[in-house]
């Protein structure tokens, strides 16, 4: 296969991303982790599944970044996940060191790779990777919006009994409890959600969406979500490799869009072979604007904490 994707961190999200990607048969895959034998074992297990589904993909695991040489896309999931009671910001100190090192190591072997960051706190880790790697903003995005929007879509489907395929939801803002589900742009087969659902039901869906990550953490107790985050990043990687010009919500570096600058923030972005090709700007009402500002304040605070820890 001509394309190559490396996944840094072969834990739950990283290995599940490899699974979804292998099924799509769009690139050879490399899993990298610090735990000896673990990425090799998971890669071999996944490779041995491929004859059954008839997919030809090379998959290797390694503890050494040299295996990632010449990657088109690098997906960063290395770090620790949230434990119950832990906020995404609690993760910052530990994960900043891991993501910073991973970025530097990746660039030694793949100086032109596009980056998709997943490690939390997501928007701050994407910021760190961009600054550490001195990357132009086109080359780096964070995954959060597809996941948060998919959660909202699932909850609307559960409430209405209508196919998820008919349900379009858009969640913007930072990947935290202040994220902004856009209820007046979300719709069911073109019918605005606000018209379809009574206000109390819609509010319950918005609240559940905002706390969607925490709900899973509370149930799993030993880690955070991975099936849905992983398929979301697989969709982003596919859009890039196939040059689809697909517009999805994702975390991108803003330079004045939505009145914000110098932060990563969830906005609609267009993905293609050039990476983050375009940021789409919605016209927002007063409530949406103030909700986004609140969310941006939370992300900026996290970046300030980062800047006090790391020189970037």
> Active-site residue numbers?
175
In the complex with ligand TXD, which residue's Cβ is closer, 81 or 174? Answer: 81
* Strand, helix or coil for residue 45: helix
Quick check: 100 binds ligand TXD (CB under 6 A)?
A: no
Quick check: 157 binds ligand TXD (CB under 6 A)?
A: no
d(CA 24, CA 241): 11
d(CA 90, CA 84): 11
Quick check: 224 binds ligand TXD (CB under 6 A)?
A: yes
In the complex with ligand TXD, which residue's Cβ is closer, 148 or 187? Answer: 148
- Which of 5, 10, 31, 234 binds ligand TXD (CB under 6 A)? It is 10
- Which of 103, 120, 132, 183 binds ligand TXD (CB under 6 A)? It is 120
- Which of 18, 96, 144, 197 binds ligand TXD (CB under 6 A)? It is 144
Assign residue 49 a region (left: φ > 0; alpha: ψ between -120 and 50; beta: otherwise).
alpha
Neighbours of 160 (CB within 10 A): 15
Quick check: 71 binds ligand TXD (CB under 6 A)?
A: no
Rg (CA), the chain: 19
Quick check: 42 binds ligand TXD (CB under 6 A)?
A: no
The tokens 């904490």 sit on which residue? 305
Point out which span in 26-34, 67-75, 187-195, 254-262 binds ligand TXD (CB under 6 A).
26-34
- Using alpha carbons, list the distances in angstroms from residue 287 to 93, 145, 184, 212, 258: 33, 19, 11, 22, 14
Quick check: 237 binds ligand TXD (CB under 6 A)?
A: no
Tokens of 312: 């970037």
x/- track of binding to ligand TXD for residues 179-208 (CB under 6 A)? ------------------------------
* 276-294 CB burial, b ≥16 within 10 A, e <16: bbebeeeebeeebeebbee
Write down the least CB distance from residue 237 to ligand TXD, Å: 14
In the complex with ligand TXD, which residue's Cβ is closer, 61 or 275? Answer: 61
Point out which span in 139-147, 154-162, 163-171, 191-199 binds ligand TXD (CB under 6 A).
139-147
Are residues 271 and 246 in contact, defined by beta-carbon separation less than 8 angstroms? yes
- Which of 6, 68, 71, 77 binds ligand TXD (CB under 6 A)? It is 77
In sequence order, the 6+-apart residues with CB closer than 8 A to the CB of 187 are 167, 168, 193, 196
x/- track of binding to ligand TXD for residues 80-99 (CB under 6 A)? xxx--------x---x--x-
The CB-nearest residue to ligand TXD is: 11
Write down the least CB distance from residue 15 to ligand TXD, Å: 8
**CA proximity to 304, closest of 123, 78, 172:** 123
d(CA 188, CA 204): 17
Quick check: 284 binds ligand TXD (CB under 6 A)?
A: no
Alpha carbon 266 to its chain centroid, in Å, reads 10
Binding-site ranges for ligand TXD (CB under 6 A): 8-14, 32-35, 77-82, 91, 95, 98, 101-102, 118-120, 122, 143-144, 147, 175, 223-226, 229
């Amino acid at each position: 296969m001509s394309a190559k994707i490396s996944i840094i961190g072969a834990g739950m999200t990283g290995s599940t991303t490899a699974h979804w990607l292998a099924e799509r048969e769009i690139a050879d895959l490399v899993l990298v982790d610090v735990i000896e034998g673990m990425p090799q074992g998971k890669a071999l297990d996944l490779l041995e599944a491929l004859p059954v589904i008839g997919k030809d993909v090379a998959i290797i695991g390694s503890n050494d970044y040299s295996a990632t040489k010449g990657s088109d896309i690098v997906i960063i999931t290395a770090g620790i996940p949230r434990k119950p009671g832990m906020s995404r910001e609690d993760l910052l100190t530990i994960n900043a060191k891991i993501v910073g090192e991973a970025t530097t190591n990746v660039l030694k072997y793949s100086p032109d790779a596009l980056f998709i960051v997943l490690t939390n706190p997501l928007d701050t880790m994407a910021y760190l990777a961009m600054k550490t790697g001195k990357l132009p903003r086109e080359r780096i995005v964070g995954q959060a919006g597809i996941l948060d929007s998919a959660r909202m879509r699932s909850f609307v489907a559960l409430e209405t009994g209508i196919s998820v395929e008919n349900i379009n939801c858009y969640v913007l803002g930072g990947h935290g409890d202040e994220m902004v589900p856009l209820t007046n742009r979300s719709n069911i087969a073109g019918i605005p959600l606000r018209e379809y659902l009574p206000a109390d039901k819609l509010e319950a869906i918005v609240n559940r969406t905002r706390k969607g990550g925490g709900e899973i953490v509370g149930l799993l107790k030993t880690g955070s979500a991975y099936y849905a985050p992983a398929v979301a990043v697989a969709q982003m990687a596919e859009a890039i490799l196939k040059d689809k010009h697909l517009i999805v919500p994702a975390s991108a570096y803003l330079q004045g869009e939505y009145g914000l600058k110098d932060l990563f923030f969830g906005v609609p972005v267009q993905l293609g072979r050039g990476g983050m090709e375009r940021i789409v700007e919605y016209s927002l009402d007063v409530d949406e604007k103030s909700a986004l500002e609140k969310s941006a304040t939370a992300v900026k605070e996290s970046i300030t904490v980062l800047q006090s820890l790391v020189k970037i």
